[in-house]
A and B are shown apart, each in its own frame.
Chain A
C-alpha cells in the first residue's frame, strides 16, 4: 500500500494534481469514514422510507376519514417542501425544543437526538412521503377482482393486504420506487448542512485543508455514480427475481 501512497504523492509533485485523500493518512481516514457514513445513511433511510410507505399506503385505505386526512397532510408537508428546509426544521426547530441529556461517555450535556439521527428521521420521512404515493398507485393497479376473490375466500382486510395486494402492488411500483430511492441516496448529502460527516462533508473538510477543490469535486461525482450504480444493479436484480412467469408482460400466455 505504501508504494501506492508514495506514487500518488510523487504524482502530485510532478503534475500538481493533489489526490490527498489517497496518499495522506488523515485525509484518507476522513473520506473512508464519510463514504461509509453515506452508505449507512442510505441503507437506513431506504429501509425506513419503505416502512413509512407501506404503513402510510395502508392507512390511506383506512375507513376513518380522520386517519386518511392525516396521511394526506403528512404527504403534503413532506412532498411540497424542500428537503433542506425539512432537515433544518428538525435539527434547529424541533431539536432545540427537546431537553438536553447527560451523555454517559463524555459526562457533558448533549442533545437528546444527534444530528445523524435527525438526518435519518427527516430523510426517511421525506422519501417515505413519496413512497406512500408510489405504493398507493401500485395498489390501485391491483385488479379489484383480486381483492374480491380473497374476500370471498374469507380473508380479513389485513390478510388481503399482506398476502394479495402488497405482493402485487410492490411489483407494480418497483420502477417508480427505484427512481425515488436513487433520489434518496443522492439527497443524503444534505445531512452535510447539519454537520453529519458523510462523504460530501468529509470532501469539503479535505479541500479546505488541502486546497484541492477540483480533485475532490471530481472524486465526489464518481463516488456518487458508483453508489447509485450499485443501487440500480440491486433494483434490477430484484425486479428480475420477482418477475412472475406470464404476468405483466406482452405475450404472457
Chain B
C-alpha cells in the first residue's frame, strides 16, 4: 500500500486523553524517509505521549497514524510487525539489568526475530563499536555511566534493524559531558539516513541536526519550520516566549 501524498511517518488529527486531561488535541505531521525532526515544547505539552503513540505503546483515541503504509490505530494492528520497524529509546535507558551490554543488544533479535545467534552476536559487537563502546561487551548496565547505558540502549534498538527511530528525551537524565556522546551518536544515525523523531530540550541539537522543528504546546503543534527559520524568525508569540526562556 503506497501513500504518495503522505510522509514515511504520518499522523492525521490524532487525539489522546488521559481521564479528563486532553494530552493530544488533534496533531498532524509528516516525516519523509531519512528525515530527522525535533519536537520541542514545555513539559506536559504531550511530546512524549505523541512519540509513544507511533509505536502503539500508547493507544490513541482518534485519528490515524501511518508508518510506511502500516495503519497503527486499528485493533487489527500486528504489533510485532510494527515494532520490528520502529525503535524507541527512553529517558531512563531501561536496559535489562541482569544482562550484559552485549546480551542486551542480542536478546531481542534472538528472542523476537529468532535470528541466528552467531550472526546476531557479530552484529551486536559491530553496533557496540558504532556507538563507541567497544570493550564494554561484558559490562552490566549497573557498571556503566548514564551516557554509556543510553548508547547501549540505542544499539539495542538498532539491532532490530528498524526503519524509524524514536527518541524520548534521551539526554534529559544525563550530565553535560555524557550528553554530548549520546547526541553525537544520534547525529551519526541521522547522517546515515535513519528516519528519526526526536523529542528534546537540546536546542543546539535541534538547530544543527534536524530537518524540521515542531513546537508543541497544550497538545497542539503551534508552529513548525526548518531549524534556521524556526530559531531566527519564530512566528507565533508562544514560540517566541518559549524560545526566550530556553535560549
Indicate if the CB atoms of B90 and A168 lie closer than 8 Å: no
Q: How far is the CB of A146 from chain B (nearest CB, A)?
A: 6
Q: Is A245 interfacial (CB 8 A cutoff)?
A: yes
Indicate if the CB atoms of B84 and A145 lie closer than 8 Å: no
Q: How far is the CB of B196 from chain A (nearest CB, A)?
A: 16
**Given A153-B83, A155-B111, CB of A145 within 8 Å of CB of B90:** yes
Indicate if the CB atoms of A152 and B57 lie closer than 8 Å: yes
Q: Is A179 interfacial (CB 8 A cutoff)?
A: no
**Given A155-B108, A163-B107, CB of A146 within 8 Å of CB of B142:** no
Q: Specify which of B83, B84, B98, B112 is in contact with A244 (CB 8 Å cutoff).
A: B98
Q: Which of A125-181 touch B at CB < 8 Å?
A: 143, 145-146, 148-156, 159, 163-164, 167-168, 171
Indicate if the CB atoms of A245 and B142 lie closer than 8 Å: yes
Q: Specify which of A148, A155, A163, A168 is in contact with B97 (CB 8 Å cutoff).
A: A168
Q: Is A253 interfacial (CB 8 A cutoff)?
A: yes
Indicate if the CB atoms of B84 and A154 lie closer than 8 Å: yes
Indicate if the CB atoms of B142 and A153 lie closer than 8 Å: no
Q: Is A65 interfacial (CB 8 A cutoff)?
A: no
Kindly list chain B residues whose C-beta atoms are within 8 Å of the C-beta of A253.
Answer: 142-143, 145
Kindly list chain B residues whose C-beta atoms are within 8 Å of the C-beta of A153.
Answer: 83, 107-108, 112, 156-157, 160
On chain A, the number of residues with a Cβ less than 8 Å from chain B's Cβ atoms is 25
Kindly list chain A residues whose C-beta atoms are within 8 Å of the C-beta of B84.
Answer: 154
How far is it, in angstroms, between the C-alpha of A152 and the C-alpha of B160 when the chains are bound? 11
Q: Is A252 interfacial (CB 8 A cutoff)?
A: yes
Q: Is A246 interfacial (CB 8 A cutoff)?
A: yes
Kindly list chain B residues whose C-beta atoms are within 8 Å of the C-beta of A149.
Answer: 90, 94-96
Indicate if the CB atoms of A152 and B55 lie closer than 8 Å: yes
Mark A residues whose CB is within 8 Å of B: 143, 145-146, 148-156, 159, 163-164, 167-168, 171, 244-248, 252-253
Q: 11 new A-B pairs (CB below 8 Å) besides A146-B96, A149-B95?
A: A145-B94, A149-B90, A149-B94, A150-B96, A154-B112, A154-B113, A159-B112, A163-B111, A168-B97, A244-B98, A246-B142
Q: List 23 A-B contacts (CB under 8 A).
A: A143-B94, A145-B92, A145-B94, A146-B94, A146-B96, A148-B94, A149-B90, A149-B94, A150-B96, A153-B107, A153-B156, A154-B84, A156-B80, A159-B111, A159-B112, A164-B96, A168-B97, A244-B98, A244-B140, A245-B143, A247-B98, A247-B141, A247-B142
